[in-house]
A and B are shown apart, each in its own frame.
Chain A
Amino acid sequence: ETGVTQSPTHLIKTRGQQVTLRCSSQSGHNTVSWYQQALGQGPQFIFQYYREEENGRGNFPPRFSGLQFPNYSSELNVNALELDDSALYLCASSLRTDYGYTFGSGTRLTVV
């Protein structure tokens, strides 16, 4: 049973650019959630996908968007990058009815 894998592990982008982060869910998990974790802070909920549809969103602007594919892999897209978007982006997969999330190791995004 594989865990959650994210790519890339590190990324440097320039302000105003766009970025796509990728996540492969744990086998058998049908729900994926994305989190943003600033240094020294707890993960902040961005949104959640179930059956390829966004079914919940945190307090993030529309320039944060996502996709979930039939194989339950997922993407996080961020447009018009800002310096404050620099953070660790975590993907977590779960079963819809389950309480235990499995997290990936994250993508460290630096916006300069």
Chain B
Amino acid sequence: GQSLEQPSEVTAVEGAIVQINCTYQTSGFYGLSWYQQHDGGAPTFLSYNALDGLEETGRFSSFLSRSDSYGYLLLQELQMKDSASYFCAVSSISGGYNKLIFGAGTRLAVHP
């Protein structure tokens, strides 16, 4: 089967750095994505890792270790607007197509 695990909740203060971890078990692994979702909103694509290492996009960075089936999202210089749910999602090749499987999400609360 396929499964992803990430913490359910994380709390941090403005200006701080927070790391959200994700471990996964899947067949046909293709890559790991991160999405942000504000309450009542659509999931928004943040980053993608297909190869081991760190990808940096502004204040957000994402890391992948394929051998450890592990990745993380790093958010720096936290702002109040970063309060949202963050999902890791595995791109999995199965039956000739690429599907995206999501974790249960991590709710990030940023406090002043």
Contact = CB atoms under 8 A, between A and B. Distances in A.
B31 A99 contact: yes
Given A56-B94, A90-B42, A45 B31 contact: no
A41 B105 contact: yes
A99 B42 CA distance: 17
A50 B45 contact: no
Interface string B82-95: 00000101010011
Nearest to B45: A100
Interface of A: 4, 33, 35, 40-45, 48, 50, 55-56, 58, 90, 92, 96-97, 99-106
A31 B43 CA distance: 17
Interface of B: 4, 30-31, 33, 35, 41-45, 48, 50, 87, 89, 91, 94-105
A59 to B, nearest CB: 10
For the complex of A and B, the 3 pairs showing the least CB-CB separation, nearest first, are A42-B102, A103-B42, A56-B97
19 contacts: A4-B42, A40-B105, A41-B105, A42-B104, A43-B43, A56-B97, A56-B99, A58-B99, A90-B42, A90-B43, A96-B97, A99-B31, A99-B48, A99-B50, A99-B91, A100-B33, A101-B100, A103-B43, A103-B44
Contact of A99 (B33, B44, B97, B104): B33
A106 B45 contact: no
Contacts of A92: 43, 100
A42 B103 contact: yes
Given A42-B105, A92-B43, A101-B100, 19 more contacts: A33-B99, A41-B105, A42-B87, A42-B104, A43-B43, A43-B87, A45-B99, A55-B96, A56-B94, A56-B95, A56-B97, A58-B99, A90-B42, A97-B98, A99-B31, A99-B33, A99-B48, A101-B33, A101-B43
B26 to A, nearest CB: 12
A41 B104 contact: yes
